[in-house]
């Protein structure tokens, strides 16, 4: 190679390197931004002035969690649901979202309730917008816009929530399945003031990953969610009181729940 030609090539290479150095660094898109997050429903907007806002007790009963394994857990008022989900990379706060068909229990919840709207509309999700700091989430579906608030932020005028959950407190509670004694341990979380009348809900995650909701008035349990899917629709519910705890039997399932978990005392 001639010396002049070599100088031209070297000069061009230096200019190219300098040009690359002056470009701003490109940030990779944020993938799986929703994984491991929990949310409570604040409002549903169907357009043309049709908007439903939820009170704090209603928000506590209408929640969803994007589990890291690609499954979704939902509180649909007095029912429980699950589905699968996937999301595209986050770009400028927006991303694509797919939610599969939601399988849920079939209890009849008193009005006003928004669980049926969540179960029917969320599977038509097209995309989402995530607010800075993950303080808010908007899900756009084929029928409505769902506005949600992070479950890490306490309800207005209510107890603080356990970070990363929509529970006011969590614990490992004694539990038994298939007619056995409550000798195992199951994760449980409580939602205080879950009902408009001040009732509470304790949600227990069973060894098979499914959840059982138990309803309380004060510290007295009075029922559990049931459905035909798991055969629990006809199960008997009974309670034995021992000191500051309740031993609950629901069909072949048994649970021991202490008052402090329910009331926070």
Residue 24 dihedral angles phi and psi, to the nearest 5°? -65, 150
Q: List 57's β-bridge partners, or say none.
A: none
Are the beta carbons of 246 and 257 closer than 8 angstroms?
Answer: yes
Please indicate whether residue 233 or residue 13 has the higher confidence score (pLDDT).
233
Distances in Å between the Cα of 207 and the Cα atoms of 5, 90, 211, 232 are: 74, 34, 9, 16
Q: Mean pLDDT throughout 36-54?
A: 87
Q: In what order do the strands lie in the sheet with 211-217?
A: 220-224, 211-217, 200-205, 184-191, 169-176, 253-258, 245-250, 237-242
Looking at residue 7, its pLDDT comes to 41
Please indicate whether residue 90 or residue 177 has the higher confidence score (pLDDT).
177
Is 28 a residue whose pLDDT tops 60? Answer: no
Instruction: Tell me the whole-structure pTM to 2 decimals.
Output: 0.56
Is 212 a residue whose pLDDT tops 70? Answer: yes
Is 25 a residue whose pLDDT tops 50? Answer: no
Looking at residue 116, its pLDDT comes to 94
Distances in Å between the Cα of 228 and the Cα atoms of 23, 175, 181 are: 61, 22, 24
pLDDT band at 198 (very low <50, low <70, confident <90, very high): confident
Is 17 a residue whose pLDDT tops 60? Answer: no
Rounded mean pLDDT of the chain? 83
pLDDT band at 3 (very low <50, low <70, confident <90, very high): very low
Can you tell me the distance from the alpha carbon of 227 to that of 116, in angstroms, rounded to the nearest whole number? Answer: 15
Can you tell me the distance from the alpha carbon of 94 to that of 127, in angstroms, rounded to the nearest whole number? Answer: 7
Domains of the chain by residue range: 37-150, 169-263
Looking at residue 21, its pLDDT comes to 40
Is 221 a residue whose pLDDT tops 50? Answer: yes
Is 235 a residue whose pLDDT tops 90? Answer: yes
Is 60 a residue whose pLDDT tops 90? Answer: no
Are the beta carbons of 84 and 125 closer than 8 angstroms?
Answer: no
- For the segment 70-118, what is each residue's pLDDT rounded down to a tens digit? 999 999 998 999 999 999 888 878 889 999 999 998 888 888 899 999 9
Q: Structurally, what CATH architecture does the domain formed by 37-150 represent?
A: Beta Barrel (2.40)
Q: Provide the terminal-to-terminal Cα distance of the chain, rounded to the nearest Å.
A: 86
Place of tokens 């309803």: 215
Distances in Å between the Cα of 46 and the Cα atoms of 32, 80, 143, 150, 158 are: 27, 24, 7, 22, 28
- For the segment 149-176, what is each residue's pLDDT rounded down to a tens digit? 888 776 555 566 776 677 888 889 999 9
């Amino acid at each position: 190679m001639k010396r002049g030609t070599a100088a031209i090539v070297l000069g061009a290479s230096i200019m190219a390197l300098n040009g690359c150095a002056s470009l701003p660094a490109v940030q990779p898109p944020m993938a799986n931004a929703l994984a491991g997050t929990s949310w409570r429903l604040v409002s549903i907007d169907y357009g043309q002035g049709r908007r439903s806002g939820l009170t704090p007790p209603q928000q506590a009963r209408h929640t969803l969690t994007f589990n890291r394994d690609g499954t979704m857990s939902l509180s649909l008022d007095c029912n429980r649901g699950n589905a699968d989900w996937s999301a595209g990379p986050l770009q400028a706060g927006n991303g694509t979202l797919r939610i599969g068909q939601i399988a849920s229990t079939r209890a009849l919840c008193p009005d006003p309730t928004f669980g049926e709207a969540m179960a029917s509309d969320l599977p038509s999700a097209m995309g989402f917008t995530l607010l800075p700091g993950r303080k808010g989430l908007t899900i756009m579906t084929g029928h409505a816009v769902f506005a949600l608030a992070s479950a890490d932020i306490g309800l207005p005028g209510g107890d603080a929530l356990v970070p990363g959950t929509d529970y006011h407190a969590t614990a490992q509670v004694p539990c038994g399945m298939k007619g056995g004694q409550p000798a195992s341990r199951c994760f449980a979380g409580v939602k205080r003031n879950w009902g408009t009348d001040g009732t509470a809900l304790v949600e227990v995650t069973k060894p098979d990953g499914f959840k059982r909701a138990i309803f309380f008035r004060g510290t007295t349990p009075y029922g559990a969610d049931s459905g035909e899917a798991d055969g629990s629709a006809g199960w008997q519910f009974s309670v034995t009181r021992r000191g500051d705890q309740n031993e609950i039997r629901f069909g072949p399932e048994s649970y021991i729940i202490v008052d402090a978990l329910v009331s926070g005392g």
